Amino acid sequence: MQEQLTDSFGRRIEYVRLSVTDRCNLRCFYCLPGDFRNFSEPDEWLGFDEIERVIAAFASLGVSKIRLTGGEPLIRRGLPDLAGRLARLPGIADLSLSTNAVLLARQAGALCAAGVRRINVSLDTLRPGRFAAITHGGRLDKVLDGIMAARRAGFAPIKINMLALKGINDDEFEDMVEFCLEHDFTLRFIETMPVGATGRAATRHYLDLQEVKRRLASRFSLIPGAMPGGGPARYMQVAGTRLRIGFITPISRHFCATCNRVRLSADGALHLCLGQDYRYDLRALLRSGADSAQLKAAIVQALVLKPERHEFREKPRQVIRFMSMTGG
Ligand code: SAM
């Protein structure tokens, strides 16, 4: 019988977010300091063989969904090769990718061929100058080229993730809805979280998505919607169209009771909750020659420490690491 991974609160864990590098080619102000360079070295990252062993252990515990993330995952050399290896593991049914799409135009075809099916692109603005300001010098045209290449390559659905930032991009929500309507993308709005010093500083731009939803409803006819994927977004649909708009509300209406995931950082640390700095070092175990039974036992043991919920509101200073360590 298939083993299952269940935490102390009865939540079944079936989803691993796998960060393949902590490096990023953008410096979104709410994520990383503009001059940040203090990344880990590639020899600290798990190698592909090590990643495959860990994910195989998760798969044998009933995990079926993997999301490749970072940092910026497309920076990791050979990512399509890794994707192919993970897609072939018994039990892995869903392989997806989160990216800023800057490097996607060149890699979209290879990733799709390797078995990545769903893709999320982080995009907070459609204005080139504003994009450069938010990301500390990023080029919007490269992102748009990447997204269009992804569509040609056959990714479906393509989800655009937009952080709702008061005073930064709150005059663009309707434009982004129109953009996603035109190109048949799914749109998700996300609330800013106090992760790292940068995330905490950005909470002055925090916007409660209930307000954003009310505002959009005054312009678009929104009806309840649904979307396969098992994530935390609550969806509305624009009536008479295929457009679904998701609202991801970790702060105003958290969804911890249905949390089904854990995160593995590039250096092999297992993070049980985005809102907590506790980490369980799987790399040391892997490099000490642990077999798959020992790996599985360690994962089960680590899971005992998964908290019932994050405490972003009560203890906003709790998470020191930047979001780029775990990939959101
Ligand atoms: N580079 C990839 C990307 O751009 O999607 C993956 C990593 S990035 C850290 C993942 C997501 O985290 C992005 O959508 C980004 O907007 C989000 N993020 C970063 N810092 C955040 C914060 N303080 N609050 C909420 N979301 C944040």
Taking the centre of ligand 1 as the mean of its atom positions, its distance from the CA of residue 100, in whole angstroms, is: 9
CA atoms within 13 A of residue 196's CA, in its CB half-sphere: 18
User: What is residue 326's predicted lDDT score, i.e. its pLDDT?
Assistant: 81
User: What is the token pair recorded at 271?
Assistant: 């993070």
Of all protein residues, whose CA lies closest to atom 2 belonging to ligand 1? 99
Atom of ligand 1 nearest to the CA of 195: 23
| 212 within 8 A of 247, measured Cβ to Cβ | yes
Query: Ligand 1 pocket: which of 18, 120, 122 to mutate (most atoms <8 Å of CB)?
Result: 122
Measure 193 CA to ligand 1 centroid, in angstroms.
Answer: 10
How far apart are the C-alpha atoms of 254 and 232, rounded to whole Å?
Answer: 9
Mutate to test the pocket of ligand 1, among 25, 29, 30, 265 (most ligand atoms within 8 A of CB): 30
- Cα(63) to centroid(ligand 1), Å: 23
For 236-254, what is each residue's pLDDT tens digit? 999 999 999 999 999 998 8
Span from the CA of 273 to the centroid of ligand 1 (angstroms): 15
Distance 298 CA to ligand 1 centre (A): 28
Between CA 160 and CA 171, with CA 166 as vertex, the angle to 5 degrees is 65
Using alpha carbons, select from 188, 163, 191, 169 the residue that is nearest to residue 243. 188
Percent of the chain with pLDDT over 70: 99
Q: Look up residue 45 and give its two tokens.
A: 């990252």
Distance 323 CA to ligand 1 centre (A): 6
pLDDT at 232: 87
- Centre a 10 Å sphere on the Cβ of residue 176 and count the other Cβ atoms it contains: 21
Question: Rounded to an integer, what distance in angstroms lies between the CA atom of residue 139 and that of residue 186?
Answer: 22
Ligand 1 pocket, Cβ-based, cut-off 6 angstroms: 24, 30-31, 69-70, 72, 98-100, 122, 161, 163, 190, 192-193, 195, 199, 202, 323-324, 327-328
Query: 17 CA distance to ligand 1 centroid (A)?
Result: 13
Ligand 1 atom 20, closest CA: 31
Nearest CA residue ID for atom 4, ligand 1? 100
Q: What is the rounded (10 degree) CA torsion for 106, 35, 249, 127?
A: -60
pTM of the model: 0.96
Instruction: Output the 3-class SS for the chain.
Output: CCCCCECCCCCECCEEEEECCCCCCCCCCCCCCCCCCCCCCHHHCCCHHHHHHHHHHHHHCCCCEEEEECCCHHHCCCHHHHHHHHHCCCCCCEEEEEECCCCHHHHHHHHHHHCCCEEEEECCCCCHHHHHHHHCCCCHHHHHHHHHHHHHHCCCCEEEEEECECCCCCCCHHHHHHHHHHHCCEEEEECCCCCHHHHHHHHHHECCHHHHHHHHHHHCCEEECCCCCCCCCEEEEECCCCCEEEEECCCCCCCHHHCCEEEECCCCEEECCCCCCCEEEHHHHHHCCCCHHHHHHHHHHHHCCCCCCCCCCCCCCCCCCCHHHCCC
Q: Give the residue-averaged pLDDT of 279-293.
A: 95
pLDDT at 1 over 80: no
Q: Which atom of ligand 1 is nearest to the CA of 198?
A: 23
For residue 244, list its beta bridge partners: 237
Tens digits of residue pLDDT in 71-107: 999 999 999 999 999 999 999 999 999 999 999 999 9
Measured between its terminal Cα atoms, the distance across the chain in Å is 32
CA of 325 to the centre of ligand 1 (A): 10
pLDDT above 70: residue 230: no
- Binning pLDDT at 50, 70 and 90, where does residue 214 land? very high
Tell whether the model's pLDDT for residue 229 goes beyond 80. Answer: no
